[in-house]
Amino acid sequence: MAKPPVSSATRTFGERVRECRHELGVSQETLAACAGLHWTFVSQAERGLRNISLHNLLKLSAGLQVDPARLVTGLEPPES
Protein backbone atom coordinates (compact mmCIF):
# COMPACT_ATOMS: atom_id res chain seq x y z
CA MET A 1 0.00 0.00 0.00
CA ALA A 2 1.39 3.47 -0.96
CA LYS A 3 2.58 5.59 1.97
CA PRO A 4 0.38 8.68 2.58
CA PRO A 5 1.88 12.17 2.06
CA VAL A 6 3.45 13.78 5.15
CA SER A 7 0.99 16.70 4.95
CA SER A 8 -1.35 18.43 2.52
CA ALA A 9 1.47 20.95 1.97
CA THR A 10 3.99 18.28 0.93
CA ARG A 11 1.29 16.62 -1.22
CA THR A 12 0.53 19.85 -3.10
CA PHE A 13 4.24 20.66 -3.35
CA GLY A 14 4.85 17.23 -4.88
CA GLU A 15 2.00 17.63 -7.36
CA ARG A 16 3.52 20.93 -8.48
CA VAL A 17 6.98 19.37 -8.92
CA ARG A 18 5.44 16.65 -11.10
CA GLU A 19 3.39 19.20 -13.08
CA CYS A 20 6.50 21.33 -13.78
CA ARG A 21 8.51 18.21 -14.70
CA HIS A 22 5.82 17.15 -17.19
CA GLU A 23 5.80 20.65 -18.65
CA LEU A 24 9.54 20.30 -19.11
CA GLY A 25 9.00 16.83 -20.59
CA VAL A 26 11.72 15.13 -18.55
CA SER A 27 11.89 11.97 -16.46
CA GLN A 28 12.48 11.85 -12.70
CA GLU A 29 16.00 10.58 -13.44
CA THR A 30 16.77 13.53 -15.74
CA LEU A 31 15.34 16.04 -13.26
CA ALA A 32 17.36 14.44 -10.47
CA ALA A 33 20.54 14.67 -12.54
CA CYS A 34 19.89 18.34 -13.37
CA ALA A 35 19.06 19.15 -9.76
CA GLY A 36 21.96 17.24 -8.22
CA LEU A 37 19.61 14.99 -6.29
CA HIS A 38 18.99 11.22 -6.25
CA TRP A 39 16.06 10.10 -8.40
CA THR A 40 14.48 8.33 -5.43
CA PHE A 41 14.41 11.69 -3.62
CA VAL A 42 12.58 13.24 -6.58
CA SER A 43 10.12 10.35 -6.61
CA GLN A 44 9.47 10.67 -2.86
CA ALA A 45 9.15 14.48 -3.08
CA GLU A 46 6.57 14.12 -5.89
CA ARG A 47 4.55 11.72 -3.71
CA GLY A 48 4.58 14.21 -0.83
CA LEU A 49 6.74 11.97 1.33
CA ARG A 50 9.43 14.62 1.99
CA ASN A 51 9.38 17.68 4.26
CA ILE A 52 11.98 19.07 1.92
CA SER A 53 14.75 21.51 2.99
CA LEU A 54 15.21 25.01 1.53
CA HIS A 55 18.36 23.95 -0.32
CA ASN A 56 16.69 20.91 -1.90
CA LEU A 57 13.65 23.05 -2.76
CA LEU A 58 15.99 25.44 -4.60
CA LYS A 59 17.84 22.58 -6.34
CA LEU A 60 14.48 21.21 -7.56
CA SER A 61 13.21 24.58 -8.76
CA ALA A 62 16.51 25.22 -10.58
CA GLY A 63 16.31 21.76 -12.19
CA LEU A 64 12.71 22.49 -13.19
CA GLN A 65 13.73 25.94 -14.49
CA VAL A 66 10.99 27.62 -12.44
CA ASP A 67 11.07 30.25 -9.70
CA PRO A 68 10.91 28.54 -6.29
CA ALA A 69 7.89 30.75 -5.54
CA ARG A 70 5.80 28.69 -7.96
CA LEU A 71 6.31 25.54 -5.88
CA VAL A 72 5.29 27.07 -2.52
CA THR A 73 2.85 29.89 -3.23
CA GLY A 74 -0.33 29.59 -1.22
CA LEU A 75 0.76 26.54 0.76
CA GLU A 76 -0.48 26.37 4.36
CA PRO A 77 1.55 25.10 7.32
CA PRO A 78 0.62 21.64 8.66
CA GLU A 79 -1.67 21.45 11.70
CA SER A 80 1.03 20.95 14.36
Under the criterion CB under 8 A, does residue 72 sit at the interface with a copy of itself? yes
Residues 8-27 within binding reach of a copy of itself (CB under 8 A)? 9-10, 13
- Other residues' Cβ atoms within 10 Å of the Cβ of residue 22: 9
Residue 45 carries which side chain, given as an amino acid letter? A
Q: Is the dihedral of CA 33, 36, 38, 41 positive or negative?
A: negative
> In degrees to the nearest 10, what's the CA dihedral of 42, 44, 50, 56?
-10
Under the criterion CB under 8 A, does residue 4 sit at the interface with a copy of itself? no
Q: Which of 4, 23, 29, 36 binds a copy of itself (CB under 8 A)?
A: 36
Whole-angstrom distance, CA of residue 37 vs CA of residue 33: 6
To a copy of itself, the closest distance from the beta carbon of 66 in angstroms equals 11
Under the criterion CB under 8 A, does residue 58 sit at the interface with a copy of itself? yes
Q: Which of 23, 27, 29, 51 binds a copy of itself (CB under 8 A)?
A: 51
